[in-house]
Amino acid sequence: MTQVLVQLATHSAALLVYPGLLMAAIFGTAVEIVWVRISEHHWVLPEVRWHRPSALLATVAIASMLASVQTSAPFNLVPSEERNLIVATIALGLAAWVELALGIELFGEPGLLLLVQCCWLVAVLGPAVEPQSLRPQVLGAVLVPQLLPLKIAAGILYVLCLPALLRLWPVPTTGERRARRRPDAIRSLSWWPYCGLFATLFYPPAHDDIAGIARFFGLSLAIAALCVVAGALMGRSGAAPSRAVYQRAIAPFAALVLGIVVVTSLLVR
């Protein structure tokens, strides 16, 4: 009974505090403030007044918690053997689908976003085919030379998908003007799981020490910064070029990654 209560307490702390909801809110809010500063050219702080969370925000928060605890963040209270890539994938995929279902006005190209999400799934699940493991930290630790081309290609595809999944692209939407006035709470909860999952899948696991924390957070911040820069550049180029890049390039590159998955599987056997 005591062991059950301890596990319940540790898992609850992981979901609600670190690396779960609280960490996602802190990390995401900080990145979101920087993103709004760069895109709007002035500082805009988030609202601190309490509002009853909408069904969309509550669902995204739950998905963010579930995805965040699957990462290999140092001092993660969820044991490594209990973390699963499928849980993280379903959680983040569910968040995107719920956003499309309940917040369709936030998206100017819902069909294109679904295509990008499918390509993101290829980037996430492709490297898991040959190691035959769904434990995120195991995939991050894979440094076999034969698997490195696949890992690099999947990592590039993952990063290419993030600006669209985080709605940083300049595709016009009905709610765009309102969203740009201040940080977006829904997007704020998505920064940490997306960036943390990248650091988990494509880099060896960090140790549970200060250096490990600095390394993991540094990688996550680097990916977030890369997305912010990409979003700013796309904002300057306009909606049409950005839309064309995703329509013409993202699917062929995902097909290339799938081809590398097949070739790698044949060569490693």
Q: Which tens digit of pLDDT belongs to each residue from 46-90? A: 766 667 888 889 999 999 999 999 999 999 999 999 999 999 999
| Ranges of each domain in the chain | 2-268
Find out whether 87 and 40 touch, Cβ atoms under 8 Å. Answer: no
Q: What is the pLDDT of residues 3-35, one digit of tens each?
A: 888 889 999 999 999 999 999 999 999 999 999
Q: What is the pLDDT of residues 103-131, one digit of tens each?
A: 555 556 778 888 999 999 999 999 998 88
Local confidence band at 176 (pLDDT 50, 70, 90 cut-offs)? very low
Find out whether 74 and 206 touch, Cβ atoms under 8 Å. Answer: yes
Q: Which pLDDT belongs to residue 107?
A: 58
Find out whether 93 and 117 touch, Cβ atoms under 8 Å. Answer: yes
Residue 109: CB partners within 8 Å, gap ≥ 6?
171, 243
Which string of DSSP letters, residue by residue, matches 53-92? PPHHHHHHHHHHHHHHTTS--TT-SS-GGG--HHHHHHHH
Q: How far apart are CA 136 and CA 148, in angstroms?
A: 16
Of the chain, the percentage scoring pLDDT greater than 90 comes to 60
Provide the terminal-to-terminal Cα distance of the chain, rounded to the nearest Å.
Answer: 46
Residue 181 has pLDDT above 70, yes or no: no
Would you state the torsion angle of the CA atoms of residues 99, 101, 104, 109, taken in this order, to the nearest 10 degrees? 90
Supply 251's token pair: 């699917």
Residue 51 Cα distances to 58, 65, 69, angstroms: 12, 20, 26
Average pLDDT over residues 242-263: 92
Q: How far apart are CA 198 and CA 189, in angstroms?
A: 16
Mean pLDDT of the chain: 88
Find out whether 178 and 199 touch, Cβ atoms under 8 Å. Answer: no
| Collapsed DSSP state (helix, strand, coil) of residue 26 | helix
Sign for the CA dihedral angle at 188, 193, 194, 200 comes to positive
Residue 238 has pLDDT above 70, yes or no: yes
